[in-house]
Amino acid sequence: MKKNLILLIIFIYACNTNKKMVKHPLDKSEVRTIVLENGLKVFLLSDPGFNMSAASVAVQVGSLDNPEDRQGLAHFLEHMLFLGTKKYPDVDEYSSYLRTNGGYSNAYTSSDLTNYQFQVLPDAFEGAVDRFSQFFTSPLFTEEYTSREVNAVNSEHQKNIMNDNWRQFRISGLFTKDGHPEQKFGTGNLETLGDIDREELLDFYNRYYSSNRMGLAMLSTHSLDDMESWAKKYFSNINNNNKDRNRYDSDYFEKKETFRLVQIDPIKDIRNLVMTFPLPGTRHLYASKPGRQFGFILGHEGPGSLLSYLKEKGWAISLSAGAGARSADHGSASVTVGLTQSGQENYKEVIKSTLDYVDLMKNSGHPKHVFDELKNMAELDEVYASKGEGMWRATQLANEVMMYPIEDAGRINYIYSNSDAKPYEDLLSHITADNMLTMLIAKGVKTDKIEHFYQAPYSYTEDGSIYEYLISSQKRPKLAIPEVNPFIPKNASVPKRELDLTVLPEEIKLNDGVKLYFGQDHEFLRPKGIISLKILFPKNIMSVKHRVYSRIYAACVNESLNELSYPAKLAGINFSIKEGYEGMYVDVNGYAESALKLYETILEHMVAFSITDTQFDAIKDKVVRDYENFSLSDAHQQTRELAPDLFYNVKYTWKESLPVAKNVTHESLKNYSKDLYKSTFLEAMVYGDFPKHVANDVVDLFVEKTKTSPIKKEEAFEIDYLKLSQPESIQYVEDLLVNNSCIFRNYFIGTDSPEIRATSLILSKALEQPFYTEMRTNQQLGYIVWSYSRNYDESYYLNFLIQSGVYPADELNRRVNDFLSDSPNILKDMDEETFQNLIDSAIEQLEKKPMSISERATKFKNYIFEHDGDFERDFNTIQALKTLKKERIESHLSEIISLEKRKMVNILTFADNHANKKQIKSSFSDLKAWKSAKVYK
């Protein structure tokens, strides 16, 4: 099986080391790695296929390095680097420059590294690199912004306080050895950083921000020589203090012959069991990847897997397993099980089963076929997968060049050169009951302590008798190591087609009730493709019952398919079955070889899914909890979800859906699904490396399996959207149960036309940075500050959103009013060159080339099904952009926000702990009655 892979048509490209890089013939990228005189390691990647240029700097310092009495300092410093440098002192110079040139930036602080990244259009790359490089040579750390920005970090923490993942992460750190940096609080807040001054920032910066501890990646269409010269010009004067990397104690969790259990009472109604096994550093083992093998086997979902066993017992709904590094010196392996109610009651049995599976792994020895499959897939992916572009790719490359031997940077994920059993066996030797911390996160568990920074209730216990039980040996015959995967592509090769960028998908006329498009890929020449279906139902199907049932139905179909299809996913053929208001969506995406076979199997399960009552109960319970938990999700999510209440003619809230979900039975759902496909209209697209008959097969199989009768498109249910014909201000006010308030404002810009699309693009580009700078950086209203434009079908809107843990929604409303009343001046004061940059970046955004067959197919699908096959749509927007005048945009903005002419939907939500002092009310008392008097089209 593996030998066939040699048939690949491959091009061998020699880097400036003796390592071989395998490339697709269309891949014109070139790589160069260099080390500057100051020790900075640099990864350069030039690719004429990129839309965006990007750069990233990784620094070997993170939250583990925070001083004992300054928790959160590394993270705070990360924020401060954005707020002005000696050469570019303006607080938003860097961000404005990027936004004006079609780019943006971000940064993050993790355990042992901090990473900064940006992307921008190629013409502005050198200018962005110049501004960016100043972070690492001459940051200002002004007193003024030092004291202001602490509030942004505090808001960031407030956003996390009610998040169960953050709570769990924080509490798990408390149980490491005394004095180990894992015990520190990483984010920081006013309490830990409130009185910080400039000197402390400078001191930390000078100690750790040294060129020998950094990695730089630059990705662009520019030549390697150009990029090398910029790397030298802008990054050579970073100071090198030659300080070696920080060391961390790899033995950070005490071995103890007892069962250690941490119980956490969560915010949401979740049930998770997490078993963590501390490990020494694993990063240096990248050539053998023992962590990935461990996760592959223990996290497998096929027949004989631990998950299948736990599901059969009725204890689990999900399972994931893996191992990762926290630093070069330490890391951990972990297994997370999503429990059912019965699983929570039997959590000791779940742990025992897991350890029994690990025993099976230990006794079975190193499974060579698993290593080979991972290696085969990596080889295929290195040639055929889309590697992406932009700042996230840059981030990964900067981290790799900093952390790994420079000759292997750029392909760490693809290297499987060491098939020795030892690293795998060594890792397994740490997966023992005496090296385990278990966390049970579920409502109602016993707690007697409160974590300080999150105010999260938890408890810790040790139990010797459970430990004795866990280490007793027990064989479970149903557990098995995964077998050889039949889905691994055997004949993948470069398709023999002409390169041709003008080929468009074509409509294939078939019978009634079907709109089918087919296209062969002539752009990427990969052995991959997508089969994509949208199944629409008759208008009269729509009801709250249908909405809730279709959601549970989709989950049941996925469950029914899971064991069978899991190996396909591992072999690069993904699929999804999802429901929405307008129907069911089915996608099969990946290596084309087995795609049709998998598609047929999916249809069989859609028509008749097969799961046990226990599995059904677990799914229903999960859906019910998801509905209930929605009121505890982030304020901005809840607030944005209120918009469709007004904008859609049909929308069911979680409150309406919950009682229906509670009453679903396995039998009633079976009955529902029996008739589901009786009458349908099918929109389908088959695209990529398929012969034409596959497109017809896709439709024929659908009709054959579902025995559907066709309806006309006009007879199918589709959402209608609010049409505001007269100026109007609509206010929608709600109270939340969470600790943040939110404002979400929508202004109607106009009805779809090339000019309105162009206007809406430019308005959002012009206002994004000023809104952010004023509301977040200057006024410090909250961590989440967004503005953008979007459309509901034909109607275009300009949106502003702020989430705040400090200010109630009426105060946010006042601040947004103040900002907007002055906003036309932003355009008035803008110079022509900046305005032209906005236009150019909007044009480049529309001209952006997809990076994969799948992205290309999505774009075509959108033209075909959402815009009646108008392939010229973006071209027409570009023509309109070219004629836009600044004065025109300015007057358009003045008009759409003016008190007399605005058509505005303003949504205000108040945090649990914020009072609605002025008693602001919604514009309506009865939403249904209000909607019935409105026009929806």
Nearest CB to Zn ion, comparing residues 760 and 804: 804
Q: Which residues of 199-225 are buried (b: 16+ CB within 10 A; e: fewer)?
A: ebbeebbeebbbbbbbbbbbbbbbebe
In the complex, what is the shortest distance from the CB of residue 108 to Zn ion, in angstroms, rounded to a whole number? 7
Segment 655-684, which members bind Zn ion (CB under 5 A)? Answer: none
Residue with tokens 């690199």: 129
Segment 885-914, which members bind Zn ion (CB under 5 A)? Answer: none
In the complex, what is the shortest distance from the CB of residue 192 to Zn ion, in angstroms, rounded to a whole number? 14
Radius of gyration of the chain (CA): 28
Segment 731-760, which members bind Zn ion (CB under 5 A)? Answer: none
Nearest CB to Zn ion, comparing residues 104 and 865: 104
Nearest CB to Zn ion, comparing residues 110 and 318: 110
Dist CA 72 CA 237 (whole Å) = 28
Residue 847, C-beta contacts closer than 8 angstroms, at least 6 positions apart? 874, 878
Dist CA 347 CA 327 (whole Å) = 31
Nearest CB to Zn ion, comparing residues 110 and 419: 110
In the complex, what is the shortest distance from the CB of residue 106 to Zn ion, in angstroms, rounded to a whole number? 9
Token output for 600? 């047929």
Cα distances from 606 to residues 204, 610, 683, 735, in angstroms, run 58, 9, 17, 40
How many CB atoms lie under 10 A from the CB of residue 340? 25
Dist CA 893 CA 747 (whole Å) = 10
The residue at minimum Cβ distance from Zn ion is: 156
Nearest CB to Zn ion, comparing residues 92 and 156: 156
Nearest CB to Zn ion, comparing residues 62 and 423: 62
Residue 480, C-beta contacts closer than 8 angstroms, at least 6 positions apart? 303, 304, 305, 360
Q: Would you tell me the crossing angle of helices 832-847 and 754-772 to the nearest 10 degrees?
A: 120
Task: Give yes or no for a contact between 112 and 328, defined as CB atoms under 8 angstroms apart.
Answer: yes
Nearest CB to Zn ion, comparing residues 201 and 602: 201
Nearest CB to Zn ion, comparing residues 266 and 805: 805
Our CA angle for 844, 845, 848, nearest 5°, is 80
In the complex, what is the shortest distance from the CB of residue 79 to Zn ion, in angstroms, rounded to a whole number? 6
Dist CA 339 CA 317 (whole Å) = 6
Our CA angle for 676, 682, 686, nearest 5°, is 130
In the complex, what is the shortest distance from the CB of residue 188 to Zn ion, in angstroms, rounded to a whole number? 9
Task: Give yes or no for a contact between 123 and 52, defined as CB atoms under 8 angstroms apart.
Answer: no
Nearest CB to Zn ion, comparing residues 81 and 536: 81
In the complex, what is the shortest distance from the CB of residue 595 to Zn ion, in angstroms, rounded to a whole number? 41
Dist CA 368 CA 419 (whole Å) = 8
Dist CA 36 CA 30 (whole Å) = 19
Q: Total residues contacting Zn ion (rule CB under 5 A)?
A: 1
Task: Give yes or no for a contact between 91 and 368, defined as CB atoms under 8 angstroms apart.
Answer: no
In the complex, what is the shortest distance from the CB of residue 156 to Zn ion, in angstroms, rounded to a whole number? 5
Segment 123-182, which members bind Zn ion (CB under 5 A)? Answer: 156
Token output for 656? 């309406």
Nearest CB to Zn ion, comparing residues 470 and 785: 785
In the complex, what is the shortest distance from the CB of residue 235 to Zn ion, in angstroms, rounded to a whole number? 24
In the complex, what is the shortest distance from the CB of residue 450 to Zn ion, in angstroms, rounded to a whole number? 25
Mode of pairing for the β-strands spanning 104-109 and 316-325: unpaired
Task: Give yes or no for a contact between 550 and 613, defined as CB atoms under 8 angstroms apart.
Answer: no
Closest CA to 591 of 611, 618, 571: 571
Nearest CB to Zn ion, comparing residues 634 and 810: 634
Chain residues binding Zn ion by CB under 5 A are: 156
